[in-house]
Amino acid sequence: MSVGIAWLRGAFRLDDQPMLVEAARRCDALLIVAERSPGPRAGVHRRRFHLGSLAALDRALGALDQGLHVLRETPGDEIPRLAERLGARGVWVGAAPGSEERATLGRLERSLPETCRLHVGRDNRLFDALPIEAGDWPMSFSKFRRKVERNLAPDPALDAPAALPPPPAGFDRAPPDRQADDCGIFAGGEAAGRKRLDDYVFGQRRVLRYKQTRNGLLSFDDSTKFSPWLANGCLSVRRVWSEVERFESGVEANQSTYWVKFELLWREYFRWLMDATGSALFRAEGLADVPPEWRADAKRLQAWREGMTGVPLVDAAMRELAATGYMSNRARQNVASFLVKDLAQDWREGAAWFERQLVDYDVASNWGNWAYQAGTGTDTRERWFNVIGQARRYDPDAEYLAHWLPELRELPSRDRFVPWKAAAPVAEYPAPVVEDPRWS
Residues 285-314 that bind ligand FAD (CB under 6 A): none
Q: In angstroms, how far is the first alpha carbon of the chain from the final one?
A: 74
For residue 51, the surrounding DSSP H or E stretch is: helix 44-62
Rg, C-alpha atoms of the chain: 23
Which residues ranging from 260 to 289 are in contact with ligand FAD (CB under 6 A)?
260, 263-264, 266-267, 270
CB 224 → ligand FAD: shortest distance, Å?
Answer: 3
Nearest to 282 by CA among 330, 349, 358, 361: 349
Q: Give the per-residue contact string, 400-419, with ligand FAD (x = CB under 6 A; - = no).
A: --------------------
Among residues 53, 124, 309, 333, the one that binds ligand FAD under rule CB under 6 A: 333
Which of 241, 272, 347, 404 is flagged as catalytic?
Answer: 347
Q: Identify the bridge partners of residue 90 per DSSP, sorted by sequence position.
A: 4, 117
Q: Is 268 marked active-site? A: no
348 binds ligand FAD (CB under 6 A): no
Query: Is 263 considered catalytic here?
Result: yes
161: DSSP letter:
P
Q: Kindly state the smallest distance separating residue 362's Cβ from ligand FAD, in Å.
A: 4
| Eight-state DSSP code of residue 127 | -
Contact yes or no for 242/130 (Cβ under 8 A) = no
Q: Is 272 a catalytic residue?
A: no
Q: Could you tell me whether strands 3-7 and 29-35 are parallel, antiparallel, or unpaired per DSSP bridges?
A: parallel
Exposure string (b/e) for 1-34, b if CB count within 10 Å is 16 or more?
Answer: eebbbbbbbbbbbbbbbebbbbbbeebebbbbbb
What is the rounded distance in angstroms from the CA atom of residue 90 to the CA atom of residue 242?
31
272, 367, 370, 404: the catalytic one is 370
List the beta strands (DSSP E) in 26-89: 29-35, 68-71
**Segment near ligand FAD (CB under 6 A), from 75-83, 103-111, 126-134, 326-334?**
326-334
The single-letter DSSP state of residue 202 is I
Q: What's the rounded Cα separation, in Å, for the pair 167 and 67?
A: 8
Span from 32-40, 96-104, 115-123, 352-360 in contact with ligand FAD (CB under 6 A): 352-360
373 binds ligand FAD (CB under 6 A): yes
Residue 413 DSSP class = H
Nearer to ligand FAD, 223 or 378 (CB): 223
> Applying CB under 6 A, what is the total number of residues that bind ligand FAD?
29
Q: Does 226 bind ligand FAD (CB under 6 A)?
A: yes
Catalytic residue status for 294: yes
**Cβ closer to ligand FAD: 202 or 266?**
266
The span of 11-19, 178-186, 273-281, 359-367 binding ligand FAD (CB under 6 A) equals 359-367
Does 227 engage in binding with ligand FAD (CB under 6 A)? yes
From residue 120, alpha-carbon distances to 15, 106, 340 in Å are 17, 11, 38
Figure out which of the listed residues 366, 376, 378, 390 binds ligand FAD, where binding follows CB under 6 A.
Answer: 366
Q: Could you tell me which of 368, 317, 360, 321 has the C-alpha nearest to residue 338?
A: 317
Catalytic status, residue 22: no
Residues within the interface to ligand FAD (CB under 6 A): 214, 223-227, 230-231, 260, 263-264, 266-267, 270, 328-329, 332-333, 336, 354, 358, 360-362, 365-366, 369-370, 373
Annotated catalytic sites, by residue?
Answer: 263, 266, 294, 329, 347, 370
